[in-house]
Amino acid sequence: MSPAASALLQPGDAAPDFTLHATPDQRVSLSELRGQPVILAFYPADWSPVCGDQMALYNEILPAFRESRATLLGISVDGVWCHAAFSAERGLHFNLLADFEPKGAVSKQYGAYDDAGGVSKRALYVLDSEGKVFWSHLSPMAINPGADGILDALDRLGAR
């Protein structure tokens, strides 16, 4: 395992709780989603080509995630207004959460923050219904990790 990957939370670890803005007046707390699988997709920036393709892919396969009773949350250090514009432009139907202030605080808790770039790394988590990490993956910044790992983890979790 590479040093960068070792910074990620590992299967069996408790997922740190957080509350982040989804809109200027709406917050989402991880603890509110207890009792169902949760997919956390940390990504560097709303308007980058790779991130746009990654989020668009997840939007396309959202029915498969929902079939697994899983909630998908996208998380980056971009602000809520940036998320709102990006989500509207891409027609996304899941929450993008702003890990904006303090910048990257949640990403850091999950080992998914790039200090050099000041952005979230491209890290994926599948959490079980009890709030524990079931699967985690770190992808290089320039590589769209796709959804196969997420779907496989949901299958192994017995959610699909």
Return the active site residues: 51
Kindly write down the DSSP assignment for every residue of 140-152, as one continuous string. Answer: -TTS---SHHHHH
DSSP reduced 3-state for 51:
helix
What are the structure tokens assigned to 145, written together?
């990790």
| Spatial distance between the Cα atoms of 40 and 70, rounded to a whole number of angstroms | 10
DSSP state of 53: H
